Amino acid sequence: MVEHLIIIDKPQDWSLDLPGAKLITPEMYLTDETYAKLPKARVLNLSRDYSYLSAGYYCSLLAEARRHRVLPTVKSLQDLSRKSIYQTLLEDITPAIGNTMDDPSLTEFSVESYFGHTTSKTFADLARRVFSRLPFPALSIQFKRKGNIWVLDRLKSLDIEKLSEHQAWMLWDGLRNYLTKRWRTPKAKPQELYDLAILVDPEEKLPPSDPDAIKLFISAAKRADIDAEVISKKDLHRLAEYDALFIRETTYIDHYTYRFARKAQADGMVVIDDPDTILRCANKVYLAELLKAHRIDTPQTTILTRHNATKLLPALALPLVLKIPDGSFSRGVKKAATLEEAKSLAREMLKESDLILAQEFVYTDFDWRVGIIDRKPLFVCQYFMSKAHWQIIDHAGSGEWGKMATLPLEDVPPKVVETALKAANLIGDGLFGVDVKQLGDGRVIVIEVNDNPNIESEAEDLVLRDKLYDTVMESFRRRLDSQMQKKS
Provide mean pLDDT across the span 352-379: 93
422-438 tens-digit pLDDT:
999 999 999 999 999 99
Q: pLDDT class for 186, splitting at 50, 70, 90? A: very low
Q: pLDDT class for 331, splitting at 50, 70, 90? A: low
Q: pLDDT class for 480, splitting at 50, 70, 90? A: very high
- pLDDT recorded at residue 21: 84
Average the pLDDT over each of 15-29, 97-111, 245-259, 305-319 and give the range with the smallest value.
Answer: 97-111
- pLDDT recorded at residue 327: 58
Q: DSSP string spanning 175-242?
A: HHHHTTS----PPPPP----EEEEE--TT-SS-SS-HHHHHHHHHHHHHTT-EEEEE-GGGGGGGGG-
- pLDDT recorded at residue 26: 94
Q: pLDDT class for 440, splitting at 50, 70, 90? A: confident
Instruction: List the domains of the chain with CATH numbers.
Output: 195-273+474-487 (3.40.50.2300), 300-360 (3.30.1490.20), 363-465 (3.30.470.20)
375-423 tens-digit pLDDT:
999 999 999 876 554 455 544 555 566 789 999 999 999 999 999 999 9
- pLDDT recorded at residue 2: 57
- CB under 8 Å to 185, separation ≥6 — which residues? none
3-state secondary structure of 359: strand
Average the pLDDT over each of 93-102, 126-135, 365-374, 443-452 and give the range with the smallest value.
Answer: 93-102
111-146 tens-digit pLDDT:
999 999 987 788 888 888 899 889 999 999 998 888
Nearest one of 338, 337, 331 to 284, comparing CA atoms: 331
- pLDDT recorded at residue 291: 94
- pLDDT recorded at residue 9: 92
What is the Cα–Cα distance from 298 to 296, expressed in whole angstroms? 6
* ∠ Cα 80 81 86 (to 5°): 45
pLDDT of 1 over the 80 cut: no
155-166 tens-digit pLDDT:
999 998 898 988
8-21 tens-digit pLDDT:
999 887 776 777 78
Share of the chain above pLDDT 90, in %: 60
Q: pLDDT class for 189, splitting at 50, 70, 90? A: very low
Q: pLDDT class for 188, splitting at 50, 70, 90? A: very low
The strand ranges marked E within 308-375 are 320-323, 333-336, 355-360, 366-373
pLDDT of 347 over the 80 cut: yes
Contact 179, 46 (CB under 8 A): no
22-46 tens-digit pLDDT:
899 999 999 999 999 888 888 999 9
Nearest one of 223, 273, 225, 216 to 248, comparing CA atoms: 273
Contact 369, 435 (CB under 8 A): yes
Contact 336, 345 (CB under 8 A): yes
Q: pLDDT class for 100, splitting at 50, 70, 90? A: low
- In order of 1, 139, 275, 303, 481, the CA distances from 78 in angstroms are 32, 15, 10, 23, 30
- pLDDT recorded at residue 318: 93
- pLDDT recorded at residue 172: 86
What is the Cα–Cα distance from 238 to 22, expressed in whole angstroms? 47
What is the bridge-based pairing of β-strands 4-7 and 42-45?
parallel
> What is the number of other CB atoms lying within 10 angstroms of the CB of residue 20?
10
- pLDDT recorded at residue 387: 55
pLDDT of 261 over the 70 cut: yes
Provide mean pLDDT across the span 243-257: 94
Integer-rounded Cα radius of gyration of the chain: 24
What is the Cα–Cα distance from 288 to 447, expressed in whole angstroms? 9
Q: pLDDT class for 47, splitting at 50, 70, 90? A: very high
Q: pLDDT class for 223, splitting at 50, 70, 90? A: very high
- pLDDT recorded at residue 329: 44
- pLDDT recorded at residue 12: 84
